[in-house]
């Protein structure tokens, strides 16, 4: 709903939670009225209770209030109570941001009051530049969910979505459902008593999927094209027969699983020799035995077996897998019990460096010990074959070399994700192909063959990948989310995991896919701003067609129209504002977040002159990590300087350098930018935003020098949501540093 042509501004000051005890509330009201130019100003002793909220609702209904500033607690608190859908709302943080962080004592009363007054000024200035987002409702959007991959993860995701009432299209490249699980004789126990290997259940799950009327299964099929966006993914599915089916889907779950690491890459451990197999190879022997004696490929019964853990895993040389695949220790324990359950006299040794058995694996490990499985802490260096095998290893307890003979050696080789095309390789190949490189043209065709989703995106045909090839999804902060809005990774394609973890993972991905289609229908953003109805617009008459917004958008949400102007794809947009921060001419904005909503807050602060010796430091804090850390500091009553003024930003990537320039020109003595952790282990909720901000700010030194200012006056920091104590230390140390450098020479010139 768009705001009426004639806006009416109101401010409401709460005196509860100790605000009225430590602050001069009547003065705050006067500032809102005179300096903030609010037409209506009221205070209340308990603004978030039913009476206070009703007072605001009545003013909206009866007095035509369209824009309101609430001066009370943090915008992260009481969000439901202070939700007024028809009005634009700003929040001035007087509780967590002022009275809970400024030290007690009469000497602090003045600076505490000044801090509160500035936050009221800032809240009033912000709301004047806000509009009520109209949303982007798509009534015709599809709610069907596409699941790519018919293994355990894919089948679980499909069933979870179908049982929640959603139609599902399930694509499997082979002729049957089940995936890798169909190769297993048994699985690691996932239910009490956790003492013995248990039935796999893949066939039963496949039958359940096939019988579900809401699931349409495409076997012997691959996705050849995925165009569109959440709510309207147009998917072409090609069958081996040559026929092509089309599905219109709202969201996608990629559950394409893994392949085992190639045992032939481990010749030093016997890879390629007849009596050395990987874990998948042993499962094949166990299935063939069907509960009887397990025999080698040459038909000889196995009387002694050695399991070598971390074969080609946790490798520090760069030749093999650098990571642990998570399931291998429990899998080797399971396979060792295959032998002991069939014949307790079989010599069964598990050679490990570190034994890792998540969940209830400890019980399974103890059960295997009771059955006579021997666990040896050692690192294998060489496996030689023949009629029998010899394993040379270093005993890590005795710290000496040793060897052991066996009829069969099993290597735990780990998981390699089936994640599709590496986009870095894709970009380099396409660039070379477009320049006429014939070899690159051939390679491009080969890469297209391994693509999973074949996305019609300018960024490439698949999701980005981490450095080990797993599909983009940060499992620490926001599992399943990827840089492709509405597309979610599940199971071992996004990180190594066992079967139980894969089923839980698939259920979570299905729930995220459901959330995506529901958000699209309502015109709302996806994670993490799932309530946000705003979306970006550009003032094209001022656009220079520099393409920075299209290149820097982490989610591929901006294309170009036929005139090479930015064209926004609202359904893909996460509302991070990275495009806004990238734009050098500041023509991109959101209805409720823009260069003006932040810029006017910066300018609203009362800057003391150089003789008052009261520095002013601007903090631009990411709303996902840094601002919550500041709030937590307040909740824990950790004191930091009252000379700072904090403004939450959607993402550090949304910070436009004009804000820094304006602040310094206005007489601020320093600027602290607090964003999420960047890099391979990023914690940025918008993936690349923090990284982009660090890159942009690395170029600001020249601007500072032109202004005659020290480069230390601008800091860019990585702050985690748990850094409540650290952020206080950072602020107080920076204030001391500014005092040592001296106040800004720009004071009085703003």
The domain 607-750 is classified under which CATH number: 1.20.120, 1.10.3470, 3.40.50, 2.60.120?
3.40.50
Q: What confidence tens digit (pLDDT) does each residue in 546-571 have?
A: 999 999 999 989 988 889 999 998 89
Specify the pLDDT at position 586: 95
**Whose structure tokens read 């007087």?**
94
CATH class label, 1-132: alpha beta
Specify the pLDDT at position 475: 59
Q: Are strands 67-72 and 88-93 parallel, antiparallel or unpaired?
A: parallel
Tokens read off for 101: 């962080």
Share of the chain above pLDDT 70, in %: 98
Q: What is the CATH number of domain 261-416?
A: 3.50.50.60
Q: 380: Cβ–Cβ under 8 A, 6 or more apart, which residues?
A: 269, 308, 311, 351, 391, 392, 393
Q: Is the pLDDT of residue 55 over 90?
A: yes
Q: State yes or no: cis peptide before 103, omega within 30 of 0.
A: no
Specify the pLDDT at position 106: 63
Confidence class for position 688, pLDDT limits 50, 70, 90: confident
Specify the pLDDT at position 1: 44
Q: 442: Cβ–Cβ under 8 A, 6 or more apart, which residues?
A: none
Quick one: fold of 531-591? Alpha-Beta Plaits (3.30.70)
Taking domain 145-257+463-522, whether its CATH number is 3.50.50.60 is answered by yes
Average pLDDT of 665-676?
A: 94
Average pLDDT of 127-145?
A: 88
- Residue 383 — left, alpha, or beta (φ > 0 → left; ψ -120 to 50 → alpha)? beta
* Long-range contacts formed by 395-399: CB under 8 A, 24+ apart: 396/353
Q: Is the pLDDT of residue 603 over 60?
A: yes
Specify the pLDDT at position 337: 97
Euclidean distance between CA atoms 427 and 441, whole angstroms: 12
Q: Of the given ranges (237-246, 451-460, 521-530, 696-705), which has the lowest mean pLDDT?
A: 696-705
Euclidean distance between CA atoms 119 and 122, whole angstroms: 5
Closest to 158 measured CA to CA, from 87, 252, 81? 252
Tokens read off for 430: 């396409």
Beta strands in 256-367 (DSSP E): 258-260, 276-278, 304-308, 347-352
Q: Where in the chain is the domain with CATH 3.40.50?
A: 1-132, 607-750
Tokens read off for 338: 């295959």
Closest to 672 measured CA to CA, from 591, 633, 615, 590? 615
> How many alpha carbons lie under 13 Å from residue 705 in its C-beta half-sphere?
4
Q: What confidence tens digit (pLDDT) does each residue in 5-28 have?
A: 589 999 999 999 999 999 999 999
Specify the pLDDT at position 138: 72
Specify the pLDDT at position 385: 81
Q: 681: Cβ–Cβ under 8 A, 6 or more apart, which residues?
A: 476
Euclidean distance between CA atoms 604 and 614, whole angstroms: 17
Tokens read off for 350: 């598990």
Average predicted confidence (pLDDT) for the chain: 93
Q: 175: Cβ–Cβ under 8 A, 6 or more apart, which residues?
A: 219, 220
Q: Where in the chain is the domain with CATH 3.30.70.20?
A: 531-591
Specify the pLDDT at position 18: 95
Q: What confidence tens digit (pLDDT) does each residue in 391-447 have?
A: 999 999 999 999 999 999 999 999 999 999 999 999 999 999 999 999 999 999 999
Q: What confidence tens digit (pLDDT) does each residue in 282-297 have?
A: 999 999 999 999 999 9
Q: Is the pLDDT of residue 659 over 80?
A: yes
Share of the chain above pLDDT 90, in %: 84
Q: What confidence tens digit (pLDDT) does each residue in 72-99 have?
A: 999 999 999 999 999 999 999 999 999 9
Q: Is the pLDDT of residue 147 over 60?
A: yes
Q: Where in the chain is the domain with CATH 3.50.50.60?
A: 145-257+463-522, 261-416
Tokens read off for 78: 């009481």
In angstroms, the first-to-last Cα distance of the chain is 37
Q: What confidence tens digit (pLDDT) does each residue in 24-43 have?
A: 999 999 999 999 999 999 99
Euclidean distance between CA atoms 634 and 101, whole angstroms: 5
Q: Quick check: 635 and 96 in contact, CB under 8 A? A: yes
Specify the pLDDT at position 3: 44
- Predicted model pTM: 0.91
Q: What confidence tens digit (pLDDT) does each residue in 165-220 have?
A: 999 999 999 999 999 999 999 999 999 999 999 999 999 999 999 999 999 999 99
Q: SS3 for 384?
A: strand
Q: Is the pLDDT of residue 618 over 60?
A: yes
Q: Is the pLDDT of residue 748 over 80?
A: no
| Residues in a beta bridge with 673 | 620, 716
Q: Quick check: 233 and 226 in contact, CB under 8 A? A: yes
Euclidean distance between CA atoms 405 and 333, whole angstroms: 19
Q: 163: Cβ–Cβ under 8 A, 6 or more apart, which residues?
A: 212
Tokens read off for 270: 């016997």
Q: SS3 for 706?
A: helix
Euclidean distance between CA atoms 672 and 655, whole angstroms: 12
Specify the pLDDT at position 476: 64
Average pLDDT of 461-481?
A: 83
């Amino acid at each position: 709903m768009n705001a009426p042509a004639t806006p009416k501004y109101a401010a409401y000051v709460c005196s509860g939670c100790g605000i009225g005890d430590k602050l001069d509330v009547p003065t705050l009201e006067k500032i809102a009225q005179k300096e903030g130019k609010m037409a209506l100003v009221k205070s209340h002793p308990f603004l978030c209770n039913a009476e206070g909220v009703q007072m605001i609702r009545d003013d909206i209904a009866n007095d035509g209030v369209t824009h309101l500033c609430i001066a009370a607690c943090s915008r992260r608190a009481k969000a439901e109570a202070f939700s007024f859908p028809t009005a634009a709302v700003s929040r001035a943080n007087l509780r967590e941001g002022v009275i809970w962080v400024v030290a007690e004592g009469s000497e602090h009363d003045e600076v505490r009051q000044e801090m509160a007054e500035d936050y009221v000024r800032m809240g009033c200035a912000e709301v004047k530049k806000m509009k009520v987002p109209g949303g982007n409702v798509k009534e015709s959007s599809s709610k069907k969910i596409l699941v790519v991959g018919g293994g355990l993860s894919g089948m679980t995701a499909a069933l979870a979505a179908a049982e929640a009432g959603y139609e599902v299209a399930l694509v499997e490249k082979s002729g049957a459902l089940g995936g890798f699980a169909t190769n297993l004789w048994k699985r690691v126990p996932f239910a009490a008593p956790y003492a013995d290997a248990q039935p796999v259940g893949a066939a039963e799950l496949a039958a359940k999927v096939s019988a579900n009327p809401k699931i349409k299964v495409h076997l012997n099929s691959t996705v050849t094209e995925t165009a569109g966006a959440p709510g309207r993914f147009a998917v072409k599915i090609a069958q081996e027969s040559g026929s092509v089916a089309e599905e219109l889907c709202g969201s996608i779950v990629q559950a394409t699983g893994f392949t085992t690491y190639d045992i032939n890459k481990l010749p030093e451990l016997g890879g390629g020799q007849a009596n050395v197999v990987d874990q998948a190879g042993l499962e094949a022997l166990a299935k063939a035995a069907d509960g009887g004696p397990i025999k080698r490929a040459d038909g000889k019964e196995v009387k002694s077996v050695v399991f070598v853990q971390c074969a080609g895993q946790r490798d520090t040389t760069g030749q093999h897998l650098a990571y642990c695949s998570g399931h291998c220790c429990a899998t080797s324990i399971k396979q060792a019990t295959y032998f002991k359950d069939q014949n307790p006299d079989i010599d069964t040794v598990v050679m490990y460096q570190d034994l890792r058995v998540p969940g209830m694996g400890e019980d399974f490990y103890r059960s295997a010990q009771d059955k006579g499985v021997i666990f040896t802490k050692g690192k294998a260096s060489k496996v030689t074959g023949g009629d029998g095998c010899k394993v040379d290893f270093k005993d890590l307890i005795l710290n000496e070399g040793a060897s052991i003979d066996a009829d069969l050696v099993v290597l735990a080789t780990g998981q390699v994700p089936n994640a599709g095309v590496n986009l870095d390789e894709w970009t380099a190949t396409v660039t070379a192909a477009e320049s006429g490189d014939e070899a690159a043209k051939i390679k491009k065709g080969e890469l297209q063959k391994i693509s999973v989703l074949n996305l019609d995106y300018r960024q490439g045909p698949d999701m980005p990948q981490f450095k080990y090839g797993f599909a983009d999804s940060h499992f620490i902060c926001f599992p399943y989310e990827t840089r492709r809005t509405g597309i979610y990774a599940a199971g071992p394609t996004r990180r190594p995991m066992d079967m139980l973890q894969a089923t839980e993972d698939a259920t979570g991905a299905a729930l995220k896919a459901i959330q995506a289609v529901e958000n699209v229908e309502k015109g709302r953003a996806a994670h993490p701003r799932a309530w946000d109805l705003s979306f970006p617009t550009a003032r094209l008459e001022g656009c220079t067609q520099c393409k920075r917004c299209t290149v820097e958008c982490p989610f591929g949400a901006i294309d170009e129209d036929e005139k090479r102007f930015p064209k926004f794809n609202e359904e893909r947009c996460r509302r991070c504002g990275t495009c806004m921060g990238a734009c050098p001419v500041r023509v991109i904005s959101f209805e409720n977040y823009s260069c003006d909503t932040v810029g006017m807050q910066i300018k609203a602060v009362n800057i003391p002159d150089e003789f008052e010796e009261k520095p002013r430091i601007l903090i631009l804090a990411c709303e996902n990590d840094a601002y919550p850390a500041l709030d937590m500091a307040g909740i824990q009553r950790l004191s930091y300087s009252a000379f700072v003024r904090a403004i939450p930003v959607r993402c550090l990537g949304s910070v436009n350098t004009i804000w820094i320039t304006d602040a310094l020109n206005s007489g601020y003595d320093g600027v602290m930018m607090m964003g999420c952790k960047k890099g391979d282990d990023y914690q940025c909720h918008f993936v690349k935003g923090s990284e982009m901000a660090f890159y942009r700010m690395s170029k600001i030194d020249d601007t500072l020098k032109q202004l005659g200012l020290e480069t230390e006056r601008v800091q860019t920091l990585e702050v985690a949501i748990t850094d409540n104590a650290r952020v206080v230390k950072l602020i107080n140390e920076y204030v001391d540093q500014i005092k040592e450098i001296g106040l800004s020479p720009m004071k009085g010139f703003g």
